[in-house]
Amino acid sequence: MSVVPGFTSAGGPWLATASLVAVLSYAAAVLRPRPGWGGPALLTAWLAQAVALLVHALGLGLSDPGMRFGFAPALSLTVWLVIAVYAVESRVLPLPTLRRGLAGLGVLSVLLAWGVPGDLRPGLSSPWAPLHWLTGLVAYSLFAIAVLHGMLTRRAERALRRHAGPASVGGLPLLRLEKLTFHFVAAGFALLTLTLVFGLVFTAWRWDHKTIFSMLAWAVFAGLLIGRHTLGWRGRIALRWLHGGALLLLLAYAGSRFVSEVLLHRAAGA
């Protein structure tokens, strides 16, 4: 009998085991039932999520093994990469306020990928397709990190205006945090540009809603970086552009895949 009905059957026992360990460990990182559990729990969850992603991608433990991909595993991999970047960054610039939020996102992303597995991909349109996907996912992750840093900056600025807090986050000065945010935006923009180039040159390029939203996101991020360097954009106006570009990028892949893999699939099976 399935311990979690509807989930273990979706990806086989190996995926169920790894996902369950990841969910429980992320939950422990959020709740922290004992002092000092946060870091080890987050690391355990991150490793278990990596196993779950690998098992899912290869279709291990299923009757029809093979490469799989979909919007939910893509979001899970994005969150996994965001936590990896956070772990590296925290070695130099500790930001403990992010840990519980990221662990919460980890719980949601693992459950989503566990319950809504991707489709079997028997063949690739191009041998460059995996590189196209990888650069895109890393770009999404960098923009997500930038959004999180921007939210911390905005919250600290509001506290400073109310004289309710220092001009720093976790000991990191606001100006330095703001610069770090734009470093992530610039790195994400470079990888997004590569992703679009790979898509244009090496894969089957189609002018669909995914391409249009991706191009719009690229234009928004380009405008943000130009505005930052020429007009000195910061604060609220910069965050609006950042959030707008991130939303367009989310709609470009996750939104379109959610419609095609979940809504249309259910409508077809009804």
Residues 6+ apart with CB under 8 A from 157: 174, 235
> In this structure, what token pair is assigned to residue 132?
């196209």
Q: What is the pTM of this model?
A: 0.80
Reported in sequence order, the residue ranges of 9-107 that DSSP labels E, i.e. its strands, are 68-69
Q: Closest Cα to residue 116, out of 19, 267, 261? A: 261
pLDDT band at 268 (very low <50, low <70, confident <90, very high): very low
pLDDT in the model for residue 36: 75
Widest distance between CA atoms in the chain: 62
Type of residue found at 257 = R
* pLDDT, tens only, 66-96: 666 777 888 899 999 999 998 888 887 777 7
Rounded CA separation 193/195 (Å): 5
User: Which run of H or E residues covers position 119?
Assistant: strand 119-120
Residue 6 pLDDT class (50, 70, 90 cuts):
very low
Residue 169 is predicted with a pLDDT of 60
